[in-house]
Amino acid sequence: MALFRTAGPEPEPISLADAKAHLRVDHDTEDELIAALIVMAREVTERRCSLVLGRQNWRLTCDAVCTAEPTLLPLHPVRAIDAVTVYDEFGVARALDVESYRLCGNRRPASVAFRTLPTAVDMENGVEIDIAAGFDADDIPAPLRQAMMLLIGQGYETRGGFSASEQPVAVPQGYEVLVQPFRLVRI
């Protein structure tokens, strides 16, 4: 099973203007650095919480699916299943009819249940599930936005070189408190 992003997020969930206001930067000479810090903060927070922040498109590939058990989707929130493509033993692609599967997106993790079993696939990554996922930028919970701002601030303040004894802490104080309620706990 493999998962990779095919598009997005466009735009980033925190705008350059918002990040600059948070940092109290009123010039444009460091816009490239600040834009990179926005991407870093989003990616770190997405991994920490197993969430998709900002609208993105993803592709999940797997060897097979079955009707007995839904296929779990390692993304949240899932907006839609855009397509399911199955490859036969000759590598010929066939798109499944939307009536043959159903998104179970109200729980975490979301899943896709297949009503009819796709043609037998006997190849590695023979099933592709295209997924639209992510919060709208305006719908990202405030604590997650603030957590990203903390990371952006720390990255901006500590962008220079430091000796081993002067290295800043891994995450800013308060970051874990902000993201903890959104983390997916596996039992």
Give the integer Cα–Cα distance in Å for 168 and 157. Answer: 10
Residues 27 and 73 in one domain: no
Residue 176's CB is within 10 A of a number of other CB atoms, namely 13
Residues 67 and 128 in one domain: yes
Residues 16 and 47 in one domain: yes
Residues 159 and 110 in one domain: no
Domain containing 17 equals: 2-53+137-182
Quote the number of domains for the chain. Answer: 2
Beta carbons of 137 and 13 less than 8 angstroms apart: yes
7 falls within a domain? yes
- Integer angstrom CA distances of residue 43 from 53, 151, 166, 180: 8, 11, 25, 16
Residue that is written with structure tokens 């720390």 in the block: 154
86-129 per-position pLDDT tens digit: 887 788 888 888 998 999 888 888 999 888 766 656 667 788 99
Give the integer Cα–Cα distance in Å for 40 and 22. Answer: 16
| Average model confidence (pLDDT) across the chain | 87
187 falls within a domain? no
161 falls within a domain? yes
55-77 per-position pLDDT tens digit: 999 999 987 776 678 888 999 99
Residues 64 and 48 in one domain: no
pTM of the model: 0.82
